Amino acid sequence: MNKLLTTSIREVSQKINAGDVGPSDVTKAAIKVASAIKPLNAYITITDKTAKKHAENSDSRQKDCSLLGKLDGIPIAIKDNYCTKGHLTTCASKMLSNFIPTYNATVYQRLKDAGAVLIGKTNLDEFAMGSGTIDSYYGPTKNLWNSDLLSKFYSCNNQMKEYTEQNKNADSWHIAGGSSGGSAVAVIAGSCYAAIGSDTGGSTRNPASYCGLIGLKPTYGLVSRYGLIPLVNSMDVPGILTRNVDDAVLVLNTIAGPDEFDSTCLRKEYVPFDIPDKININNIRIGIPKEYKEKNLSPEVQECWDEISQYLIEDGASLSTVSLPHTNYSIMCYTILNRCDVASNLACYDGMEYGYRSDEWSSVHNMYKKTRSEGFGKIVKERILVGNYFLLNENYEEYYVKAMKIRRLISEDFDAVWNNNIDLLLTPTTLTGAPTYNDFISMDNQAQCLIQDYCTQPANMAGIPALNVPIKLSKSGLPLSLQLMGPPLKEKELLTVAKWIEQRVQFPKLELKDLSLLQ
């Protein structure tokens, strides 16, 4: 069972279908792992009772030979900014620390209808505002790859830097990335086979990069946002975190498609697809954007970029340098649009109808003031204030309108590349491996986002699909990754090349040593 928890959905599904293992057995083992990795703070809520109930339902279907599909009985996790009926949905904020929705987000409902088993709700930066999962009301999430749990519970099927005594220093632990860091750690640790994140500026791909996972941001509108508590309405996309490409395809096939509850969801019927094991990349045209060779790019990530570029050429793909001239403006443009939407979307949290309300107040105005002051964290309050400043009548044209114009130019940059017969783009995902916590907090939240989201954020501005592919471990034993981006609705082409890279590099895979070791 220990090896089964860190394998693919395909493999465990085959064993469930064959009757070799029961869904309840898999679920109990996954819950045990989720409890054992509590020091990493991946979960805000472990939904063990619900998980066991859903697993028992899968047991019955297994017995009756009426399983719902490949996800029936498979443990999953959901980022805690998706509504889940009957379970806390906190957005990692004191403001929603007692909020229990009365309905399910469409993404979760579709997974549930497919028989997936919810193990828990995962940690994030408060209201998904950050790139590290450190600004959470429930505390930061730690990266598994250099934690003391790594050598204690896990082995690796490939070379991996051994855990050293210096890593036991509490100051040296590395971040998991954000804002979907909890989802990433939940998957890489083996407590679930897939997790749902959200991606507004890279919040699925960033933690996938730091944790060594596939992290997919679909085309905007391909997957319903209904029940996803919004950050930036025109950029938020449900994201998928898995250990391999085939699992990401399976989850995408389950959650994608039109939704009557989401007016921003595409009305075009979604056609599920599979990717063959034997892949021919001959004549695929890959673009290398020159603007992504940023000055802060680490030599190790550059080496990965060069290495995969050479592999692609050797197997018949053609590579060419392309230009996305407005890339350098993207983060600042995003900063303005993000704050404006934050100010608008979070205006509803006033203590009147739901969520946190201050206990001591003398007037309605005072209640609003104290509730928002006490209920929101520092980062959220700063973004609300800045957003309201940008939206002032005298500032609207200067900031918001100009930012929207730049966003159009960024989108047109990508269109020009696709129109020039480029199929996909290959870039870094993050500029380095996972930073240490101390290095990360040495800068403020905005400064970190400027660095961490440089390569990921433009895809959200343009609404195009993008994904992270892990490549290898750094000299310090941390994952290094690259990003693929493609034209709208070209998820199949994107995932096909990602699977080819996956097969070519054989990224090290973690395995649980022995479930009996888990406390």
Is 411 assigned a catalytic role? Answer: no
CB 114: neighbour CB atoms within 10 A? 19
Q: Which of 8, 58, 179, 180 is catalytic?
A: 179
Q: Which residues contact 33 (CB under 8 A, 6 or more apart)?
A: 5, 189, 190, 191, 512, 515, 518
Task: Give the separation between CA 382 and CA 502, rounded to whole angstroms.
Answer: 40
Cα distances from 424 to residues 96, 319, 412, 470, in angstroms, run: 40, 10, 15, 17
d(CA 401, CA 406): 9
Counts of helices then strands in the chain (DSSP H, E): 18, 13
How far apart are alpha carbons 402 and 340 in whole angstroms?
A: 13
Burial class of residue 393 in the structure, from the number of CB atoms within 10 Å of its CB (0-12 exposed, 13-18 middle, 19+ buried): exposed
- CB neighbour class for 107 (10 Å; exposed up to 12, middle 13-18, buried from 19): buried
Is residue 203 annotated as a catalytic residue, yes or no?
A: yes
Which residue in the list 8, 203, 224, 330 is annotated as catalytic? 203
Q: Is 318 a catalytic residue?
A: no
* End-to-end Cα distance, the chain: 16
Taking alpha carbons only, the member of 82, 100, 78 closest to residue 91 is: 82
DSSP string over 231-253: SSTTT-EEEEEESSHHHHHHHHH
Q: Which amino acid makes up residue 167?
A: N
β-strand partners of 151: none
The span from the CA of 333 to the CA of 217, in Å, is: 20
Catalytic residue among 70, 79, 121, 142: 79
Distance CA 519, CA 505 (A): 34
How far apart CA 160 and CA 259 sit, in angstroms, is 44
Give the span between the Cα atoms of 281 and 500, in whole angstroms.
Answer: 8
Query: Would you name the residues annotated as active-site residues?
Result: 79, 179, 203
